Amino acid sequence: MKVSYFHVAGDVPDTIKGPDGPDAAVVIDVLRATTTIAWALHNGAEAVQTFADLDELRAEANAWPEAKRLLVGERGGSKLDGFDLGNSPVSVVPETVQGKRLFMSTTNGTRSLHRVREVACVLTVALPNREAVAQRLIRDQPEQVWMVGSGWEGTYSLEDSLAAGALADSLLAAGATVANDEMQAAIALWSQWKDNPEACLRIASHGQRLIGLGNHDADFQRCSGLDQLSVVPTQAEPGVLRAVSG
Ligand code: 3SL
């Protein structure tokens, strides 16, 4: 297994669609989309359907039974008007999400999911389900794995690289090899922060943005909790992620 990392959707080469493309893509948005997805599916959501475009989201959601749907999303870190929930892993509790489909759009995370949606195997990872995703990849042994961060509006984000390094750490221990410099740098970042990932999330520019919006202590705790969940969010049809245990 060869593992590469791309910081944001815009860095993903167009060869993604050809024979040199990946066998598996793993999308990362630690703060907070892929953490919210992991917790929502762990807490019993039927599926999370992701959208880059809000009009498309509303049209698809309107075709779904009202009692079985939730609109989830943010722009700039704040809940979207008319939506049921913002993008917080703290709000996707069982009483709210059980049996529901989450129609989700976020500033950056859902763009990365959109970029890789044609890959044969698409997973999402965050720190709480890092080991579960690692074990799935170790079991299935895709030859080329491309991890894709979400960043912020096209720019690098520290916390996504941290999680890429955390996932790679488990994969390398099982014999995987590194295929690009971005992956090497992410592994170095993980080795620097692995004893205190929450501190890394808090100094990251998006962590600082969230702190500027108000108290996000519970979000930071949830987003930095390592290896707590066994759920592996897996694309079942384009844009639709379902829970599969690792
Ligand atoms: O950028 C994203 O996709 C979001 O995860 C950002 S936020 O943490 O919800 O503000």
The CATH number covering residue 32 comes to 3.90.1560.10
Residue 132 lies in a domain: yes
Confidence of residue 246 (pLDDT cuts 50, 70, 90): low
Residue 38 lies in a domain: yes
Which pLDDT belongs to residue 180?
A: 98
Mutation choice for ligand 1 from 32, 37, 78, 88, CB with most ligand atoms inside 8 A: 32
How is residue 234 written in tokens? Answer: 């897996």
Confidence of residue 244 (pLDDT cuts 50, 70, 90): confident
Residue 148 lies in a domain: yes
CB-facing half-sphere around the CA of 59: CA atoms within 13 A:
6
Residue 163 lies in a domain: yes
For the segment 9-54, what is each residue's pLDDT rounded down to a tens digit?
999 999 998 898 999 999 999 999 999 999 999 999 999 999 989 9
Is the C-beta atom of 115 inside 6 A of ligand 1? no
**How far does residue 73's CA lie from ligand 1's centre (Å)?**
8
Which pLDDT belongs to residue 205?
A: 96
Residue 104 lies in a domain: yes
User: Cis link prior to 202 (omega < 30° from 0)?
Assistant: no
Judge whether residue 56 has pLDDT over 70: yes
Residue 81 lies in a domain: yes
Is the C-beta atom of 105 inside 6 A of ligand 1? no
Which pLDDT belongs to residue 22?
A: 98
Alpha helices in the chain (DSSP H): 33-42, 54-62, 94-97, 109-116, 130-140, 158-173, 181-193, 197-203, 205-213, 217-224
How is residue 219 written in tokens? Answer: 């979000």
Is the C-beta atom of 35 inside 6 A of ligand 1? no
Is the C-beta atom of 207 inside 6 A of ligand 1? no
Confidence of residue 76 (pLDDT cuts 50, 70, 90): confident
**How far does residue 33's CA lie from ligand 1's centre (Å)?**
6
Is the C-beta atom of 32 inside 6 A of ligand 1? yes
Which pLDDT belongs to residue 18?
A: 87
Which domain covers residue 213, as residue numbers? 2-238
Which pLDDT belongs to residue 144?
A: 98
Judge whether residue 80 has pLDDT over 80: yes
Nearest-5° Cα angle at 30, 102 to 150? 85
**How far does residue 131's CA lie from ligand 1's centre (Å)?**
22
Task: Give the nearest ligand 1 atom to 33 CA.
Answer: 5
Q: What is the total count of domains within the chain?
A: 1
Residue 245 lies in a domain: no
Is the C-beta atom of 204 inside 6 A of ligand 1? no
Judge whether residue 245 has pLDDT over 80: no
Residue 151 lies in a domain: yes
